[in-house]
Structures are given as structure tokens and as C-alpha cells.
Amino acid sequence: MVTLTVRQATLEDTDSILRIYNQGIEDRIATLETETKDSSYMEAWFHDHQGRFSVLVAENEGEVIGWASLNPYSHRCAYKGVADLSVYIDRDFRGQGVGSSLLEALEIAAKEHEFYKIVLFTFPFNQGGQGLYQKMGYRQVGLFEKQGVMDGEFIDVMIMEKLL
Ligand SMILES: CC(C)(COP(=O)(O)OP(=O)(O)OC[C@H]1O[C@@H](n2cnc3c(N)ncnc32)[C@H](O)[C@@H]1OP(=O)(O)O)[C@@H](O)C(=O)NCCC(=O)NCCS
């Protein structure tokens, strides 16, 4: 049973964010990235996520067990109200409502920062992601066939969106 606190991330959280992100990379279900990242990568990423591009963490008993972020979708002015999202939960805490709590809080943060839509790119075989996004009301827009290559295999990528 997890007791969750969701809050804005600080620079001190980047080690935990990195650890959880690297689990997602290793699991090959969440991202086309195949090389795990290091602290300097994550700190640079965090510095790029200031202002409107919130990073939230979920804590259980003082330990960060998941994170979610709003990412730039496009630098074109016409798309300034559209954000992309990332969400990663510690392997030991998946399927316990942490992702749902983070996305609820992220939607509030998105509206506060004048985003009217969140889009995301996910793999059709990511069952946890599919369950989470459907539950949270994301609509399937379409499927990019053979959009990326991972470990030498073509990967289809599903586009989803939610109007806030
Ligand atoms: C995908 C992920 C973020 C989901 O977060 P989570 O905390 O596990 O999700 P929740 O527990 O909030 O579950 C949300 C819904 O999805 C469903 N779900 C969760 N895991 C599932 C699974 N493995 N298979 C099918 N449905 C699943 C749940 O049943 C739940 O619906 P319910 O509340 O009606 O029962 C998490 O599993 C994760 O970090 N996976 C690895 C990284 C990743 O894939 N990130 C997303 C990249 S697109």
C-alpha cells in the first residue's frame, strides 16, 4: 500500500528521476532510447524543464517512486498550447495508482501554464501505458508504422491526445 505525495521536483530529485528513467530504458517498453543516461544528462534535462514545463515527483515514505513531466511539443508559436508528456514509475511500484495520481496532477499544472492539450507517443505493446492513458481519457489519434528502430527492429508508435 503506497502513501502518495505528489509535488514539484527539485534539482535534488534528479538522481531518483534518473534511476527510474533508466529502468524504463532497460525494460524496452517505454522509449526508443537504448543507452542508459547519466547524472549530467538528467541535470541538463531538468534545467530545460523550467517555467511552463513542469516536472512532478511522487513520493512514498520520503522516497521518490515515480515522476512525470510536461515537455515541449514544438517550438512553433502556433503550438504553444500543446505539451508532450513523459511518465515513469519505479518497477516495484507500477500498477498501484502512482501513474494515475501523477497524470492528474500534471493536467492541473498544464492548465495553470495555459496548455490546452497534451499529446503523447507510446508503444502499442506497452500494456501499462495503454491502461493508464485509456483510464485518464486519452484518445488514440493514430499509429505511425515502423516509426523507429530499437535493437535492430522496427517499432510502431501510437499517438494519443487529451484536450484539457
Ligand atoms: C506505464 C506506467 C507509467 C503506468 O503507471 P502505473 O502507476 O503503473 O499505472 P496505474 O497503476 O495508475 O494504472 C492505471 C490504469 O492502467 C491499468 N494498468 C496498469 N498497469 C497495467 C498493465 N501492466 N496491464 C494492463 N493494465 C494496466 C490499471 O489497471 C489502471 O486502471 P484501473 O485503475 O482502472 O485499474 C508504468 O507502468 C511505468 O512506469 N511503466 C514503465 C515506463 C513507461 O512505460 N512509461 C510510459 C511511456 S509511454
Q: What is the pLDDT of residues 70-128, one digit of tens each?
A: 999 999 999 999 999 999 999 999 999 999 999 999 999 999 999 999 999 999 999 99
pLDDT-derived band at 35 (thresholds 50, 70, 90) equals very high
Q: What structural domains does the chain harbor?
A: 4-121 (3.40.630.30)
Q: For the sheet containing 55-60, what is the strand order?
A: 4-8, 55-60, 63-72, 82-89, 117-122, 153-163, 139-150
Residue nearest to atom 44 of ligand 1 (CA): 30
Q: What is the mean pLDDT of residues 37-48?
A: 98
Check if 121 has its Cβ closer than 6 Å to any atom of ligand 1. Answer: no
Please say if the pLDDT value at position 1 is more than 90. Answer: no
Atom 34, ligand 1: residue with shortest CA distance: 135
Model-wide pTM > 0.95: yes
Ligand 1 pocket: which of 32, 94, 118, 140 to mutate (most atoms <8 Å of CB)?
Answer: 94
Q: Give the residue from 11, 24, 160 showing the smallest Cα distance to 85.
A: 160
Whose alpha carbon is nearest atom 5 of ligand 1? 99
